[in-house]
Each structure stands twice: as C-alpha cells, then as structure tokens.
Amino acid sequence: MKNIFTDEREIKTPKLYHALISFIGLIAVMSVGIIIFEVDPHIPMFVGVIISAVVAMVLGYKWSDIEKMMVDGIGKAMQSILILAIVGMMVGTWLLSGTIPTMIYYGLKLLSPKIFLVAAVLICSVTSLATGTSWGTMGTMGLALIGIGSGLGMPIGPTAGAVICGAYFGDKLSPLSDTTNLAPAMAGTDVFTHVKYMLKSTIIAYAIALVFFGIYGFMHASGGNVDTSQAEILMQGIHDTFNINPLLLLPPLVVILAIAFKVPAIPGITLGLLTAAVMAPIFQGNLAVYDGDLELLHNGADMGDILSVALNGFYCNTEIEALNDLLTTGGLMNMSSSILMTVIAMMFGGIMEGSGQLAVIINAIIKHIKGDAGLVAATEATCVLSNVVMPEQYISILVPGRMYAPAYRERGIHPKSLSNALESAGTVTSCLVPWNTCGMFIKNTLGVSTMTYAPWAVFNYVMPIICIIMAFMGITVTKMTPEEQAKADAGELV
C-alpha cells in the first residue's frame, strides 16, 4: 500500500471541481467561523489550508511538494511581512515621540461648525493617515464626531458616512496601514509604488465625497450653537500629555520624501522610525511612561523606552478613555496578528498556485474577460464578492490578490495595477456589508446600522467605480517594461 505522504504517484491535472472544493470549503469555514462563532479569521483560514492540501494530495502531490508550495507562497510575501514588522515598530516610536498625537491635535483644529461634515471627513482622514487604522479612528474620533453632529442637529447617517469616508481614505493611503502593505504584497510590488499609483483615482473619489458633504452640509446647516466639547476634551488631553510641536511632523515628512526620491520601502520606513527615535527624548522629556499594566515607570522618554515601544507598543494612560483607546497601540507584537494572517493566507495561496488549482479558476474566469480593463473590473468584483462571502477585509485582498497575480503577469500588466484594484475594492467596500467584520465593528462602535450609513459612505462606493472607469480610460492599467517583466517573472518585486 502506497504512503500518500511520501511515495511517488501520478500527478493529475486539476479540474475545475477540484479548485471549487478548495475555495468553497474556505468560504464555508470562513463564513461559519466569522459570522456564527465570531472568531478571528486566522484558524478558519488555516482550515482552508488543510482543505486545499488534501485536494493537492488527491491530485497526486507528495507532502514534501505541498510543503514546498506553502514555503514558496510565504516567500513571495516576505518583503511585505518585513515591512509590516517595521511599520509596527515605527508606530510605537511615533507615539512615544509625540508625532502621531501632534498630527491628531492639528487635525482636530480643523473642526468648524459651519462646515462640520467636511471637517469630519478631514479630521478622520488626518487621524487615519497618522495611525494607519480605520477602526481606531472610528472608535475614537468617530465617536466624538457623532456626538458633535448630534449637537449640530445633523442626521446620524450623514455624520457616520463622513466619519467612515475619512477613516477609510486614510487607511487606504497610509503606509502604516496593514491593508496598504498587504495589497502590494499580494500583487508583487512595493508599498511606495502602490501608494503613489493609487493617488489619482483615490483623490478623485475623495474630492467627490468632499464636494458631496460640503453641499449637503451647507444645505442642512443649523444656526444654533454646536457642542464641540468632546473634541476639545481630546485636544486638551493630548496637549496635557504630550509636548505638541510642528517639528514633530518631521518623521512623516521624511517618509514622504523617501517616497518622492524612490528610496526602497524598508529603508524609507526605517528612516521615519529612526527620526522619531531621535526626537522622542528631545521633545518628550516630561512624558509619563507606562508599562503594559499601566504602572508608571518614570517621566521622560529614553532609549530604553524607545526599544520597549518598538517591541510592545505605546501605552497611554490618561483620564480620557477615548484617548487611551486611540493611542495605546503600535509595536512589533501588535502587528503579529496581521503578519500571521498573511503567512497563513500565503500558505493557502501557495498550495492553490503550486498545484494548479488557481490556474483552473483563473482560466475559467479569464476566458470571459475581454481586455485589460475587464481584468481590473473582474478583480474588483471578486474583492467585493469576497467581502460578502468571506466576510473579512484581509481575505478580500489576500485571496483575490493571489488569484489574479499570474493573469496580470501573463498579460504584462504592472502589479501596481492589481494592488490598486485590490485596495480600491477590497479595503473600502468591507464596511458596506452588514455581516462583514468591518460592518459589525461600525454598528457596535458607532451605534449606526449599515443600512443607515451606507448611502452616505460616498467615498467607499464611488472608489471602485472610479477605478474601473479609469481602467477603461487606460489610466489605472499600466504595462510593464521588458526589465520589469523580467523581474516579475523571476518573482521579484516590481
């Protein structure tokens, strides 16, 4: 009797039903795990890995072959895994130095009762760009703005929509965001190339949202006094805790300049980390430093604190709970969930790609697609469908990214076109699905149902439409040069 794990067997070409077993199995497990049992997606994703591995063994592959497929899959995302790790460290140092609090403080200063909805979008944009998290932004600034909007007499739907638009705009573009790093990792490009390429379509969608909220806010403006006390409490809490100084905006400026001068992602982000590390002892000499148990260690940031927050993140301990929730984050360990999710998803992608199951599904889809713009549209449709049936934002980027990367490469389309499509549909539409983890988070945090805020989340549903239109115009479809094609074929980032 042959040992299915070690003995040589005839390898069969996968049929469509083989691949569908793997994908439908993953969808079923993810849906049950996330919707019914409300667990994190990591273990359901790993069950999907097991299903795809069993299918690969049925096709005749030895375990050593399957193991190599998984390792190869993880290897393709290794640079982005390293970037995620460094970003976690950078967030910790940016908090300790006061860089992120300074960005939030100046963002809150944008608040103006006369243009409340536009200000809400801008404030949440600045906060999300600074922190790289839409959830953290909505759970803190969003809650404050919901209260302010109520005092203004603004309906809760438009207020929540403005908060969500700003939060997802920043999350989509911030190099600190995990999704902004995951999308280029799946596509085969670097985060700086990805961010620059997204700007045109993202700015157009953002401008549409700002104009919409500006007109609506003007038409429904209230002449009464506005209660901005919650925003003022947050500003005062930041001012009392940190030394706020415009010079603390230097670390993000360094990262922006690194992007402009085409510095590779890892050294560029590291420069931002080191700049904040130098500034922390200079500007936060009186900062109260706490450990994980919120016990006061000492006053004044020093080298030991820099090393600690880079590993474990920053702990904020003030009398303002919303401020503590927003600023207690960062660190390498806090990025581990995203890193592990990437590793497990790439195990699945590696098996699907190495065993030929992915190619079968792609071929079934591609034969109905005409033109490169059609491929972008199909990518976005798959991302939206993933948000519906595998209701987790990460999965809507990871799985379609691995599905379509070979097709883009074969057509000579630059991977930044794929990463743009993934982010333009996978990231921003997750909040429009009531049973998606993002939709459930918003309902539980802001107290607003999906059906109430979705019509007002202008940026989120306009963004994929703009990307598709620009694809058919040839703007978001870029061909690779021969040199870039050679790098892509060799498995290198383009």
The contacts of residue 304 (CB under 8 Å, 6+ apart) are none
Burial (0-12, 13-18, 19+ Cβ within 10 Å), 369: middle
Average pLDDT, the chain: 88
pLDDT band at 168 (very low <50, low <70, confident <90, very high): very high
Name the range with the highest mean pLDDT among 60-69, 367-376, 441-450: 60-69
Q: What tokens appear for 243 in the block?
A: 């030394």
Distance CA 127, CA 124 (A): 5
pLDDT band at 1 (very low <50, low <70, confident <90, very high): low
pLDDT above 70 (res 227): no
More confident residue, 413 or 394: 413
pLDDT above 90 (res 209): yes
Contact criterion met (CB below 8 Å) for 33 and 366: no
More confident residue, 130 or 464: 464
Q: What average pLDDT does this structure show over 281-299?
A: 94
Q: What average pLDDT does this structure show over 260-271?
A: 81
pLDDT band at 221 (very low <50, low <70, confident <90, very high): low
Query: What tens digit of pLDDT does each residue of 171-184 get?
Result: 899 888 888 988 99
Computed on alpha carbons and rounded to an integer, the radius of gyration of the chain in Å comes to 23
Flag the least confident range among 230-234, 251-255, 469-473.
Answer: 230-234
pLDDT band at 115 (very low <50, low <70, confident <90, very high): confident
Query: What tens digit of pLDDT does each residue of 142-163 get?
Result: 877 886 776 566 888 999 999 9
Q: State the pTM of this model.
A: 0.78
Across 321-356, b (16+ Cβ under 10 Å) vs e yields ebbbebbbbbbbebbeebbebbbbbbbbbbbbbbbb
pLDDT above 60 (res 308): yes
| Cα within 13 Å of Cα(155), Cβ side | 12
Flag the least confident range among 205-214, 228-237, 292-301.
Answer: 228-237
CA dihedral over 182, 183, 187, 192, signed as positive or negative: negative
More confident residue, 187 or 219: 187
The contacts of residue 308 (CB under 8 Å, 6+ apart) are none
Query: What tens digit of pLDDT does each residue of 447-459 get?
Result: 888 889 999 999 9
pLDDT for the residue numbered 226: 56
pLDDT above 90 (res 416): yes
DSSP 13: P
pLDDT for the residue numbered 472: 94
The contacts of residue 146 (CB under 8 Å, 6+ apart) are 156, 159, 160, 163, 446, 447, 448
More confident residue, 345 or 151: 345
Query: What tens digit of pLDDT does each residue of 357-389 get?
Result: 988 888 888 888 888 999 999 999 999 988 887
Three-class DSSP labels, 39-75: CCCHHHHHHHHHHHHHHHHHCCCCHHHHHHHHHHHHH
Q: What average pLDDT does this structure show over 254-281?
A: 86
Nearest residue to 250 via CA among 288, 278, 285: 278
